[in-house]
Every structure is written in C-alpha cells, then in structure tokens.
A and B are shown apart, each in its own frame.
Chain A
C-alpha cells in the first residue's frame, strides 16, 4: 500500500491508501475520491485545473517534464512546490507525501 495525504481547500487533511501497481495519476485518484476538481483536459497538462502544492515529499517525486512546467508557468499562484496532479503517477515515490489542492473550486 502507498500512503499519502490530501489537504482540501478548507485545510482539512485526509490520508489516502492506494494499492501498489495501480496505474493511476494523482488527478485520477483525487477524482475517484470525490474531490471537487475540474481536470478539464483529462490529464493532458493542458488546463491546469488539477494544480496541487506539494507540502511534503517534493524532492522524492520524479522531476516535472517540460509540458508540465510550461503549464505551471501560466498560473498566477504557482510556486516552486507546485505540480499538476495529472502528471504525477501514483507509485512508491508518493509514500508519505502531502498534497494541498490548489486549483480553484469549480462553479
């Protein structure tokens, strides 16, 4: 099992456990866990509506690729600890990580 924590827009934290070997992105896990995120582009790093801030464990995650960095560059509130949830694969590099949902709440 891989364990990590999600902090929602109200600051509430919830642990999440995912079996190893599941080929999902963090965005897909967030959607499946009923977090309110748009993820308009379905994970193509084109919409940035899956923006998360990595509060813990940033250094162990695989480096972001150019397409992800390009997209993050267009956000007003991105920082050096920002990532796109759809570009993060859920594997053991996420163990113990804490992600805060940064994208705006869809209305």
Chain B
C-alpha cells in the first residue's frame, strides 16, 4: 500500500499545482490519473494550443505549461499512479482514507483532493457485437505495453493519428497487423498516413479500408474479428488482439457514487477552503462548482492554495500553521 499525506485524484494542471502548494506546507502528495500521461485536458485535448491567461506568461503552449508544472513540483517528489482510474474510497476509523484504483492499487492518505476536471477520460467505444465481453481478454483501448503484442496477430481500428502511429510501430513488433478504417483516406499526419500505405504496399501490414468491425468472437479469449465492408461483404480474420483507437471522451465515472453533493457533474464546495460536504475530501479545478465558478486554470491554482491551508490541520494536527511568503524560506524539499 502506498502511504502519503494527500492523495490527489487527477493529474491535470490543478492537481499538479496542488503538489507545489502542499509541498510548501510539508505535505506529501500522491497523484492518480486514468490517463497514461499527466496534464489532463491540456495534454489530452489541446497540447499544441497557446494559452494566454497564465500570469507571467504572455503566451505558453499547453504542453509546455504541463512540463513546467512538473519541473516546479519535482523537488517535492510526488508519487504517480498513471493509467489507472480511482474507483473506491474507504474511510478509516481514524478519519483517514484508503483510495483504490481499478487495477487494485491502494493509497492510504489523510486527505483526498479531487482534481478530476471533466471526469475520467474514457475510450470511445465502437458498436461491435461482444466488444465488452472481450475487454481484457484480447480487447484493449490503449497500448500500455507493446511487448505483450510481440509475435501476436493484432487488429487496430480507427483513422486518427494514434491508429496510424501504432500501426507503424507494431508492424515491427507483432506477427500480423491489420488496420481497419471506415474511409479510404487518412486525415491524420500525412507523413504517418504515407508510412501506413507504404507498409501495406510492402505487404508488412493489412490495410482494410471502407470497412468497419462489426463483431468479434472467441472462446474465453479473442479469436476472430468480423469486418463488414461498405458494400456489405463480410470477412472474418483470425486475431489475438483488437485495439479500437477512437480517442477519449470524459465521463464523471465513480466520483458520482461517493456521497458528495453533485450538481450537473460538478461537486459543490465551500469557497472558504474548497472542502466538500464530506470531511477531509476537497474538490478543486474544473470538477467543482460554486456561485461565480470559472473553469480556468488560474482559478484552479487559487483553489489549490486555499485547499492546502485547510488540509494542513488533518495532516499535521499537532502543528499550528502560520502563513509565510514562499520567498521568506525559499522552496523546501523532502
């Protein structure tokens, strides 16, 4: 079990900055995010867009802001569990919490901070008969460990950049790679599209265009994929793995079941410290709501600072918090 002072759910910009504010008050943090990378909406939706309303930066690229936040918090050594979704929250008799993920990771903490933004980014699932039955049994929506696909028969579906990139990458790893796409052109990066067409010409991958996967079958584990072409002809392909890559979409998910006061997918908080209706649980950033709420990074940063001042009493109950400017003592480290 991981032990920490504050468990932060969501490693978006607000969750990341909360580590800095907590660190100044000598509180350790562990962050959990369902995405395989940190940065939340900035890294997932708009990494290349410039942001103009971060104080001190007339303009900063979204991914650069995330990278800078990571640099800013590095000295506080936060722990990260990425690619796992927080599902369970169990209150202990002493008031502390155990947070559990879908992969069974457990974090014991004094305070829980929900910085979950729009919720979990979950894969967009195509309509394929039996799809969910084979999840974890051949069907996956992201490639976590390409080595698991070595020498296997892999079918990918989709027409965006990730479908193209993984097709190119897996051509050298898997035994057989098939890419199924609904159209006959790819609108992803032209360079990647060309690589995919070249690999197909060389016979190193199968490219099935103007087609969609309609059903899958197997005996306990995925064994075959049925593909229906635009002209309604159906072909069946032997396969060990199917990876539909149609991007991610946010869903509030398990947070909705934790007894918090929720209105239109947002958690009600007290604006004096961004605490929720449940003791020791705070909500900051896009996930919370209060009169006048603005969904801006700037506002989430402010909320993180006030939250930490309040959380201090649970983490260091025997100490009195006296506010000092960061410039007085410098940035302490663990």
Contact = CB atoms under 8 A, between A and B. Distances in A.
Interface of A: 38, 40-41, 44, 46-49, 66, 69-70, 73-79, 104, 106-107
A76 B126 contact: yes
Given A44-B46, A70-B188, A104-B249, A76 B127 contact: yes
Given A48-B247, A106-B265, A107-B265, A40 B124 contact: no
Contacts of A69: 187
- Contact residues of B: prevailing secondary structure: loop
Nearest to A78: B182
Interface of B: 41, 45-46, 49, 118, 124-127, 157-160, 182-183, 186-188, 244, 246-247, 249-252, 256, 265
- Contact residues of A: prevailing secondary structure: loop
Contacts of A79: 182
A70 B187 contact: yes
Nearest to A66: B187
A41 B246 contact: no
A86 to B, nearest CB: 13
Nearest to A70: B187
A74 B265 contact: no
A46 B46 contact: yes
18 contacts: A38-B249, A40-B41, A40-B118, A41-B45, A48-B249, A66-B187, A69-B187, A73-B160, A74-B124, A74-B159, A74-B246, A75-B124, A76-B127, A76-B157, A76-B244, A78-B182, A104-B124, A107-B251
A96 to B, nearest CB: 28
Contacts of A73: 159-160, 183, 186-188
Given A74-B158, A74-B160, A74-B247, 16 more contacts: A38-B250, A40-B250, A46-B46, A46-B49, A47-B249, A73-B159, A73-B183, A73-B187, A76-B127, A76-B158, A78-B182, A79-B182, A104-B124, A104-B249, A106-B251, A107-B251
Nearest to A106: B265
A16 B182 CA distance: 32
A85 to B, nearest CB: 15
A76 B246 contact: yes
Nearest to A41: B45
Contacts of B186: 73
